[in-house]
Amino acid sequence: MNTLTNNLLFGVVLSLVAFELGLYINRKTKLPLLNPLLIAIALVIAFLVAFNIDFEVYNNGAKFINMFLGPATVILAVPLYKQIESLKKHSKAILTGVFFGSIIGMFSVMGLSYILGLDAMIIKSLLPKSVTTPIGIELSSQIGGIVPITVLAIILTGIIGAIMGPTICKIFKITDRVAVGVSLGTAAHAIGTTKALEIGETEGAMSGLSIGIAGLMTVFIAPLSYSFGHYLYTIFIK
């Protein structure tokens, strides 16, 4: 067993098999809750725990997969570029909405986490939870969060957004196609966009566009928001 797990390919093959299974289960059940990435992570963890294999042993090989994260972030410019014409058409509405939506989101994360008594480390990890995963990972490590918790929060947020998004829009009487798409993309990144595509073509395009814009804006806003939130906290509460 050791000669098998100590091979660098072990982590890579295990991840590939787990992801294939995740995709298969997701295709069969079509449930947003059974997200392929979430299943794959759960399967790998279950496997490692069941066979008493250390994370480091898995990560020896699996860390090479992380090498793709950088280029994958750079390439996010491509979907943004493809939708740039629709951005120009509604630029004021989209940019204002994403900007304030992201700020309101981050302050509500900080406020609610404080009320619930969450640890500062966890609050930092939750701050980038609405952006697309590669950007969220980078942001989390930059502001001092715990990256795996951020990844979990990002996937959960995406699933929640996809499941509850249409109902939330109905309750708040958001019917405009652009507004529905932008709100899903801003709150729930790529998983929300899958839902937006189901609702309609305009909604999907707007949602896809918002992933990149929300990601870029959050990179600039998050460190400032966190410092400002922390400042308010020290003034009013301490």
Residues 49-88 that bind other proteins (CB under 8 A): 49, 55, 58-59, 62-63, 65-66, 68-82, 84
Angle formed by the axes of helices 9-29 and 36-50, to 10°? Answer: 130
Q: Which of 83, 87, 124, 129 binds other proteins (CB under 8 A)?
A: 129
- State the minimum distance, in angstroms, from the CB of residue 106 to other proteins: 9
Check binding of 200 to other proteins (CB under 8 A): no
Q: Which of 10, 41, 83, 221 binds other proteins (CB under 8 A)?
A: 41
Site track for other proteins across 9-38, x = CB under 8 A:
--x---xx-xx----------------xx-
The footprint of other proteins on residues 209-228 (CB under 8 A) is 212, 215-216, 219-220, 223
Stretch that binds other proteins, among 2-10, 185-193, 197-205, 229-237 (CB under 8 A): 185-193
Check binding of 119 to other proteins (CB under 8 A): yes
Check binding of 131 to other proteins (CB under 8 A): no
- State the minimum distance, in angstroms, from the CB of residue 98 to other proteins: 7
Phi and psi dihedrals of 98, rounded to 5?
Answer: -65, -40
What distance in Å separates the CA atoms of residue 178 and residue 66, rounded to the nearest whole number?
A: 34
- State the minimum distance, in angstroms, from the CB of residue 19 to other proteins: 5
Check binding of 7 to other proteins (CB under 8 A): no
Check binding of 205 to other proteins (CB under 8 A): no
Check binding of 183 to other proteins (CB under 8 A): yes
Of 221, 190, 24, the residue nearest 128 (C-alpha): 221
Q: How many CA atoms lie within 13 A of 210 on its CB side?
A: 37
Q: Which of 90, 228, 230, 232 binds other proteins (CB under 8 A)?
A: 90
Check binding of 178 to other proteins (CB under 8 A): yes
Site track for other proteins across 133-172, x = CB under 8 A:
xxx-xxx--x---xxxx-xxx-xxx--xx--xx--xx-xx
What distance in Å separates the CA atoms of residue 191 and residue 157, rounded to the nearest whole number?
A: 9
